[in-house]
Structure 1
Amino acid sequence: MSPQTMESRWSPSIGMLGAGFMARTHTHAARLAGASLASLASSSLASAERAAQSLGYARATTADDLIAEGLDVVHVCTPNTSHLDQARAALLAGSHVICEKPLATSATDAAELAELARSRGLLGAVPFVYRYHPMVREARARIACGDKDAVVTVSGQYLQDWLLGAQDDNWRVAADAGGPSRAFADIGSHLVDLVEFVSGDRITRLVATTRTVHAERNGQEVATEDAVALTLELAGGGIGSMLISQVAPGRKNGLVLEIAGSTESVRFDQEDPELLWVGRRAGSLLLRRDPDTLSADAARLSRVPAGHAQGYQDAFNAFVADAYDAAGGGTPEGLPTFADGLRAAQITDAVLASARVGNWVEVSEA
């Protein structure tokens, strides 16, 4: 991938399953990476035709027909409970797959997809795109330079308010479309992915509690959680806490991660992604993104010179370019794959299990 253009070394022909916000975000990144926009399918042919025209796809079609084309890459941006069947079918048709998170609504189903991609020698990627902020990579590099067991504590939060009121609704609220977990599977998965990616450590066990603030939304019973709080332990001995909420007034996309090592802390705030706080007992630092002074991996993802802000779409562009590069035979650093999607599903299952029984639960590595 070229850090200046985000263009992949391989230019695939792609299909898009879905026509919502995430499909548009994927499409912008795909176009910038040099992909050929072949086919788009949505919930109806009329919806697909409108989206295909708007986004620049050559044709609108049905999901089954799109998958049967055997395109180079299929992007799955449909409701969560459809991910398993659609990603499986695309892999069996010989396509590389980029599937929105959660990869599946259970660890068992996610494991099936991860094994299928591995056995067929195909790329399966999941857009944990916050990995692609350069200052996240800088935090990771700094922690990697420390002692093996240097992580002492981790704390994180991911707070939003878009489902604050009982009148606020979305397909993710219903378990038959979004799956058994909402807030954690939707946004908590990003946070736990960052914890393990940045720290280089694994969550071994946790205790969690969930809360559903609104028992009904627009007259329909709600079976999924609005908020989650959890305490965790890492394999290396570190401990931590997390708070995830989609009902936090005033918070739009408040993803914050702080990791304390034995001599230095790092703190990243997604709403201010050009900065990384480096905490020291004496002489703390506030680093601004500058490719001339960052670690090699962070500098690679710095698309524009220092002083020119990068944001969410830039991170997404870099992820898609890396995914196409990997599908074409490259080995980009830090690409989140179906194995990472499986890992997030394992942690989500542990969170739900802990909330049900009210005790500590081991996180499966199976």
Structure 2
Amino acid sequence: MTDTAAGPRLKVAIVGGGFMAEVHSRAARNARAELAGIVSSTPQKSAVAAETLGIERAYDSLDQVLADDTIDVVHVCTPNALHAEQAAAVLAAGKHVVCEKPLTTTVPDAEALVAAVGDRTATVPFAYRFHPMVREARDRFASGAAGRVLTVNASYLQDWLLGADDDNWRVDSAAGGRSRAFADIGSHLVDLVEFVSGDRVSRVSATKKTFFTERASHSSITTEDAVAVVIETRSGGLGTLLVSQVAPGRKNRLLLEIAGSAESVAFDQEQPETLWIGKRKGSMLVPRDADQLSADAARLCVVPSGHPQGYQDAFNAFVADTYAAIAGADPDGLPRFTDGLRAVRVTEAVLDSAESGTWIEMGTEE
């Protein structure tokens, strides 16, 4: 770790050179880390990524990263099927790790990673937890103001794979895993449902569709374009989840509405500056104003009310809390590998239900 006049700075390496590597790099810089190196799929691509992102060193391989004793934390931003092996290698090298979701493509692999964490900090970027208004929604259930969970209406809709000409490595199960739409974005949705409500999904009944089995560069596609799920929660709540990557006009519409016995709470990620509170009398919109919010929500307000915050701000807060945990803090709501495992378990249950046509019980695992 490098000492500066302002205190120690973490030295960070990034694995992967795509869109998420850019997001992680901006967040690491915002948290005062030193971006020491990056490695992509080939030495040539590593060099391009280092130049593009302004990172000091291009490594030729992950082994080179892990052999560098100056690196404190590694951000794994590669295709899903690589996460388990790469994150395990980072942990075995004694380094802290941030691994993109889904944590792994199978439950046993995720369980193995959780078992391997030891005293390292290992987190998964469920970054939507870090919108201030999500924390405000969570506080209303945690404080009892919203009452007990009755119903859940949640969806995550995108359109970036709307046409047969739209393609990406994620459609290939060999690179992305058994699930695509649910593993990629449904995992965020379930995480928010459980995080905000404080309740757990207890069983699921799902159906899924692959509307395009042939795309520009892939054929015989089996990963799903859309999933619809009925859920029940441990407290007795009932809900529906809709996840789609083929919804025209929806770029990244994550909508969460939970009806409690006293009030409903609704958050729309495309309109993240307000939280809707629904009551029998006197429904209202709560603005992202630190003076009006719970302490946990207020601490995430990095600009004054009226100056919009967004996705990168939420991601920055996630990385900052991760680095604080590395320094010995225990930030509330930080998504760790146990949360990544939980998302993999729910994803597997959803796929099992869709393929068997039956309800799947989630059991009591946390």
State the TM-score, normalized to the length of structure 2.
Answer: 0.95
Which residue is 2:212 aligned to? Answer: 214
Which residue is 2:119 aligned to? Answer: 121
Residues 195-220 of structure 1 deviation map (CA, whole Å, 9 limit, x = unaligned): 00000011010100000001111252
Which residue is 1:299 aligned to? Answer: 298
Give 1:175 shift. Answer: 0.5
Which residue is 1:146 aligned to? Answer: 144
In the alignment, residue 65 of structure 1 is paired with which amino acid? Q
Structure 2: which 5+ runs fail to align? 1-5
Give 1:10 shift. Answer: 5.8
Once residues 39 and 147 of structure 1 are traced to their aligned partners in structure 2, the CA distance between those partners, rounded to angstroms, is 47
Which residue is 2:15 aligned to? Answer: 17
Give 1:136 shift. Answer: 0.2
In the alignment, residue 200 of structure 1 is paired with which amino acid? G
Which residue is 2:77 aligned to? Answer: 77
Q: How does 1:79-228 map to 2 (within 5 A)?
A: 79-117=79-117, 120-146=118-144, 150-218=148-216, 220-228=219-227
Once residues 185 and 109 of structure 2 are traced to their aligned partners in structure 1, the CA distance between those partners, rounded to angstroms, is 19
**What is the DSSP-based 3-state SS (H/G/I as helix, E as strand, rest coil) of the residue aligned with 2:35?**
strand
Residues 151-172 of structure 1 deviation map (CA, whole Å, 9 limit, x = unaligned): 1111100000000001110000
Residue 48 in structure 1 maps to residue 46 in structure 2: yes
Contact 1:11 1:324 in 2 (8 A): no
Give 1:11 shift. Answer: 2.5
Evaluate the alpha carbon distance shift between residue 254 and residue 203 of structure 1 in structure 2; reply closer, same or farther with a 3 A threshold: same
Once residues 364 and 225 of structure 1 are traced to their aligned partners in structure 2, the CA distance between those partners, rounded to angstroms, is 25
Which residue is 2:3 aligned to? Answer: none
Give 1:56 shift. Answer: 2.0
Once residues 274 and 144 of structure 1 are traced to their aligned partners in structure 2, the CA distance between those partners, rounded to angstroms, is 21
User: Where do 4+ consecutive residues of structure 1 move more than 2 Å?
Assistant: 8-11
**What is the DSSP-based 3-state SS (H/G/I as helix, E as strand, rest coil) of the residue aligned with 1:38?**
strand
Give 1:51 shift. Answer: 1.0
Give 1:39 shift. Answer: 1.2
Give 1:365 shift. Answer: 4.2
Give 1:188 shift. Answer: 0.2
Contact 2:146 2:262 in 1 (8 A): no
Residue 337 in structure 1 maps to residue 363 in structure 2: no
Contact 2:147 2:262 in 1 (8 A): no
Evaluate the alpha carbon distance shift between residue 346 and residue 20 of structure 1 in structure 2; reply closer, same or farther with a 3 A threshold: same
Residue 323 in structure 1 maps to residue 325 in structure 2: no
In the alignment, residue 55 of structure 2 is paired with which amino acid? Y
Q: How does 1:51-62 map to 2 (within 5 A)?
A: 51-61=49-59, 62=61
Structure 1: which 5+ runs fail to align? 1-7
Residues 307-364 of structure 1 deviation map (CA, whole Å, 9 limit, x = unaligned): 1100000000000000000011011111000000000000001001101110100114
Aligned residue pairs, count:
357
In the alignment, residue 340 of structure 1 is paired with which amino acid? D
Residues 232-275 of structure 1 deviation map (CA, whole Å, 9 limit, x = unaligned): 01101111000000001111001000000111010000000001
Contact 2:145 2:263 in 1 (8 A): no
Q: How many percent of aligned residue pairs carry the same amino acid?
A: 58
**What is the DSSP-based 3-state SS (H/G/I as helix, E as strand, rest coil) of the residue aligned with 2:9?**
coil
Once residues 364 and 222 of structure 2 are traced to their aligned partners in structure 1, the CA distance between those partners, rounded to angstroms, is 27
Contact 2:146 2:261 in 1 (8 A): no
Once residues 324 and 249 of structure 1 are traced to their aligned partners in structure 2, the CA distance between those partners, rounded to angstroms, is 38
**What is the DSSP-based 3-state SS (H/G/I as helix, E as strand, rest coil) of the residue aligned with 2:58?**
strand
In the alignment, residue 100 of structure 2 is paired with which amino acid? E
Which residue is 2:248 aligned to? Answer: 249
In the alignment, residue 330 of structure 2 is paired with which amino acid? T
Give 1:67 shift. Answer: 2.1
In the alignment, residue 286 of structure 2 is paired with which amino acid? L
In the alignment, residue 30 of structure 2 is paired with which amino acid? L
Alignment RMSD: 1.4
**What is the DSSP-based 3-state SS (H/G/I as helix, E as strand, rest coil) of the residue aligned with 1:292?**
helix
